[in-house]
Amino acid sequence: METKNKKIANMDLKQYGMFLILIGIFILFAITTKGANAKPVNINNLIMQNGYVVILAIGMLLCVLTGNIDLGVGSVVAVTGSVAGIIMIDYKMNMWVAILAALAVGLLTGLFAGFFIAYLSIPPFVVTLATMLMGRGLTYTLLQAQTKGPFNESYNFIGAGFLPSIKVPFMDGTLDIVSIVVAIIASIVLIFSEFKSYATKKKYNFAVNPIWQIALKLVIMLFIIWFFFYKLARNNGLPFVLLIMVILIAVYGFITSKTVAGRQIYALGGNRKAANLSGIDTNKVFFWVYVNMGFLSSIAGIVLAARNGSATPKAGDGFEMDAIASCYIGGAAVAGGAGSIVGAVVGAFIMGILNNGMSLMGFTTDVQKIFKGMVLLLAVTLDVLSKRKKS
């Protein structure tokens, strides 16, 4: 039992080591930018600018769990944003009609890709490469290489608005009480869930992690929660896009860890032949994974267009790479079958902090891509090498 506990402890330390990496990178940029990246307004921008990447990373993780990726998500973001823009600007229709149309386009794209992948057995790389090319071409055709905007304030609120706040004087500015209350609730939920899990494992004589490790993990996660929420409280409060992210993280975290559908996705990625023999319809799993990716891409497209206040032909350019990198940096296995929603989200924020920090330091986007490519290669290399040692 003692050896088993030790193995599980090491496994959890590796899993939550990404939080230490997140903090380490943030501190590094705090030093190099003389604290500019830690200012409340910058933390707010980090969340708003990274919201659509987080949404895409959640969907991309399901693809990665099957041992595949989706190269077309950036183009779907552009298409759905352009559809929403055309409906609102050219046809003067209600924003809800535009949102429903954008979601429908995303779902249709997912159905298209899912059909070819699941039922015609075309490799996902080829199918999604095709949707990437077709989506980008369709975006330029729909927009005629023009920008559609500006959008009305109600629509822009989705990507740039804030939840209601209660501000009180604090130090040299104000403090949003709502943000602080949310931080308290999040802390209580985190602590309660962690110790409930520990008590349940003890009750059924399962292997448990040492108390010191649980305490260390809680300290790290509570620090991150309070740091971000305090900075948001010192700015304009909670961005609306944060609410969208939290809902999606909670829903997909539950699906992947608590439902039959989630277990089937992991089983497919772990060993497709074994999954088939156990009675899992792997074609059906593949199909819905890519339909879901199209749906989440449309949500990201709606959020991005709202954030920009317009639809542009270049929208979503390179987003697929950030989403894929987020999953691998967050601990997802290259071969599939291993990874978590929380890991993908942390990976997305690591990518966001890298983008934000290098921008503050004055690096061009070309140089930023070099560093992001190096980080991605390092994450995948470590995953492959760790598996070779185990085998």
Q: Output the six-digit token pair for 272.
A: 């497709």
**pLDDT above 50 (res 10):** no
Q: Is residue 166 part of a domain?
A: no
Tell me if 197 sits within 8 A of 204, measured CB to CB: no
Q: Is residue 21 part of a domain?
A: no
How many domains does the chain divide into? 1
Q: Is residue 325 part of a domain?
A: yes
Q: What is the percent of the chain with per-residue pLDDT over 90, rounded to a whole number?
A: 65
Average pLDDT along the chain: 89
Question: Tell me: the pLDDT tens digits for 110-141?
Answer: 999 999 999 999 999 999 999 999 999 999 99
Find residue 168's DSSP bridge partners: 175
Q: What is the dihedral of CA 252, 258, 260, 263, to 10 degrees?
A: 80
Tell me if 266 sits within 8 A of 65, measured CB to CB: yes
Taking the C-alpha atoms of residue 152 and residue 163, their distance in angstroms, rounded to an integer, is 18
- Overall pTM surpassing 0.85 (yes/no): yes
Taking the C-alpha atoms of residue 54 and residue 326, their distance in angstroms, rounded to an integer, is 8
pLDDT class for 248, splitting at 50, 70, 90? very high
Question: Tell me: the pLDDT tens digits for 178-197?
Answer: 999 999 999 999 999 888 88
Q: Please give the pLDDT value at position 4.
A: 44
Sign of CA pseudo-dihedral 324, 325, 326, 328? positive
SS3 366: helix
Structural domain including 155 reads 33-161+239-390
Question: Tell me: the pLDDT tens digits for 326-377?
Answer: 999 888 888 888 889 998 999 999 999 998 999 999 888 888 888 888 888 8
Q: Is residue 225 part of a domain?
A: no
Q: Is residue 81 part of a domain?
A: yes
Q: Give me the phi and psi of 382, to 5 degrees please.
A: -65, -40
Q: Is residue 173 part of a domain?
A: no
- Maximum separation of any 2 CA atoms in the chain, in Å: 68
Q: Please give the pLDDT value at position 3.
A: 44
Q: Which of 264, 385, 335, 320 is nearest to 14 (CA)?
A: 385
Domain CATH number, residue 337: 1.10.3470
Amino acid at 273: K
